[in-house]
Structure 1
């Protein structure tokens, strides 16, 4: 664990995180340094992630650019996020990130735990 400031290089020099879902690219910003981790999620236009959850990790999203959405409740509930918006996804909550727009979406993701835990599921298991 870190005992001093951890410098984070610009996102284009970070390595892809181990936790990925189809349709989204996640790059680590801070991982393995503390009891929280941070990454950048980039979604190309007209893409969506697979349905997934983050196990025991709470997730906070900060929408940096573009307009994207998070689906929950079997895809029935939709929360739209634009630049400057925050969103909390509680641990274990199945969700899907969606970019229905014609522009790239970039979110800063912070999670509990020293590295991202992504649990992909084939379909929604909880409506």
Structure 2
């Protein structure tokens, strides 16, 4: 038996490490393996993240508290909003940015599946 591979692990809040940085977001890594990344992200009220994408990773986001607005698409022209209990799916390579339009912090849980670097900060939205 491969103890590392077959062992169930728990990541408590104090166990989380700083995750890949994007302006306006506090990413905390809970787990990272060769094909998966999972963690907690907090966005403060009124904060807007920098534009970024996740390369070969697709992401699933669960909103725990607050409100999440995500801009994406050509020129950042598309927007979705999600609140507590909602899930979002972000495809591989989709350039986007998140913001928190609510008066309280937004807490989300993110899990990404893919390989290689998981976050790429870019200068702006996808071209028109």
User: TM-score, structure 2 length as denominator?
Assistant: 0.88
Shift of 1:30: 0.9
| C-alpha distance in 1 between matches for 2:116 and 2:82 | 24
RMSD: 1.9
| C-alpha distance in 2 between matches for 1:70 and 1:8 | 29
- Compared with structure 1, are the counterparts of its residues 95 and 79 closer, same or farther at alpha carbon in structure 2 (3 Å cutoff)? same
- Compared with structure 1, are the counterparts of its residues 119 and 89 closer, same or farther at alpha carbon in structure 2 (3 Å cutoff)? same
Structure 2 unaligned regions, length at least 5: none
1:59-90 per-residue CA deviation (whole Å, 9 max, x = no partner) reads 11111111111111222211111011011100
Contact 1:27 1:41 in 2 (8 A): yes
| C-alpha distance in 2 between matches for 1:117 and 1:92 | 10
In structure 2, the partner of 1:49 is 49
Structure 1 unaligned regions, length at least 5: none
In structure 2, the partner of 1:60 is 60
User: TM-score, structure 1 length as denominator?
Assistant: 0.88
| C-alpha distance in 1 between matches for 2:109 and 2:116 | 14
In structure 1, the partner of 2:69 is 69
| C-alpha distance in 2 between matches for 1:41 and 1:115 | 20
In structure 1, the partner of 2:110 is 109
Count of residue pairs the alignment pairs up? 125
| C-alpha distance in 1 between matches for 2:71 and 2:26 | 18
